Amino acid sequence: MSAFHFLRPEYLLLLLPAWALVWWLLHQQNDETKWKKVIDSKLLKHLLLKPDSKHAKIAAPWHLGVVLSLLIIAVSGPSWKLKATPFTQDDTKIAFVLSVKKSMLTTDIMPNRLSRASIKIEDLMAKRSDTQAALFAYSGTSHLVLPLTNDHSIIKTFSQALDPSIMPLEGDDIQGALFLAKKELDSKGSTIIVVTDSISPSNAKLVMKNGFGDDLNVILWQIASSSLSSVSDFKSAASILDAHYVPYAGDNSDVTKISSLIDKNFKNAAQNDDRKYEDGGYWLVPIIFLLLLMWARQGFIAELWRRS
């Protein structure tokens, strides 16, 4: 129930006038208060007959208050679970931001870092058959290679074809790549995966300074051996970008971790979107209906508005 909330909480303000009405009705039915104005209080206690507590019934205004409260709560949209989607399609969107610098040809990871990065991307896509993915490449300049697509085979083909020799300039324009990826995704719950062998914390600061923001999930995927790449730089950049850092793994544990981070981010975004939540107010309808049946009892309405 940690996700419990109201879809339309402003309607809860109606509880104030509802219980103000209940208080006024109860005050109207208070015989002792009314008779104190015309009869001495010492004499009044001997004249008034109090109902037998064993047979006393709940005053009608209290009953009205319960019904009104339940109605208001129902209209306010209590919700605690996400809507069940009619399709099994994965709605997550990811963008691969692949470094195509000359350093990515280093062979500390065979056959080289760039080829291994392409293989890792292929492995991740194999785990997420319905996920839409886009591909970006950067070195001294940043470029959109493929827009969002469900065709994972073409992502594999284009990532394998990337090479530092085809890049216009040598450098590290990760700032431009991140902003291109953000523009392409443009939706909450999406994930940007930076696939690189190195990252500069100063460049990460520049990205944030220029208004990148933290509304998108970012993962820094280190494709290099830890002995030849600065882990501290990755961790510092991850802290600056509010990103997740995932080191290279010889097995598929890094792929599994990134896939779970994508799912977690999408779920968190969905939990903050009221449109994805199921309105649970209808569960209160049978209870309200049963309580309203009591209003058919002879004399109930008269009791509700009775004046002393």
Residues 258 and 283 in one domain: no
pLDDT at 146: 96
Residues 243 and 120 in one domain: yes
pLDDT at 151: 92
Read off the CATH number of the domain in which 174 is found.
3.40.50.410
The predicted model scores a pTM of 0.65
Residues 197 and 289 in one domain: no
* 138 and 176 Cβ atoms separated by less than 8 Å: yes
Q: Determine, yes or no, domain membership for 157.
A: yes
Residues 201 and 250 in one domain: yes
Q: Determine, yes or no, domain membership for 138.
A: yes
Q: Provide CB contacts within 8 A for 73, sequence distance 6+.
A: 12, 281, 284
pLDDT at 176: 95
Alpha helices in 48-151 (DSSP H): 60-75, 113-127
Spatial separation of the C-alpha atoms in residues 197 and 304, rounded to whole Å: 76
Q: Determine, yes or no, domain membership for 60.
A: yes
pLDDT at 281: 85
pLDDT at 55: 42
Q: Determine, yes or no, domain membership for 14.
A: yes
Q: Determine, yes or no, domain membership for 144.
A: yes
Which range marks the domain in which residue 20 is found?
5-81+278-304
Q: What is the pLDDT along the chain (308 residues), one digit of tens a residue?
A: 556 878 888 999 999 999 999 888 887 766 555 566 666 666 666 666 565 544 445 677 888 889 999 999 999 988 877 666 554 445 789 999 999 999 999 999 999 999 999 999 999 999 998 899 999 999 999 999 999 999 999 999 999 999 999 999 999 999 999 999 999 987 777 899 999 999 999 999 999 988 887 667 899 999 999 899 999 999 999 999 999 999 999 999 999 999 999 988 877 765 555 556 678 888 888 998 888 887 777 666 666 666 54
* 261 and 226 Cβ atoms separated by less than 8 Å: no
Q: Determine, yes or no, domain membership for 33.
A: yes
Q: How many structural domains is the chain composed of?
A: 2
Structure tokens at 221: 């995927």
pLDDT at 207: 92
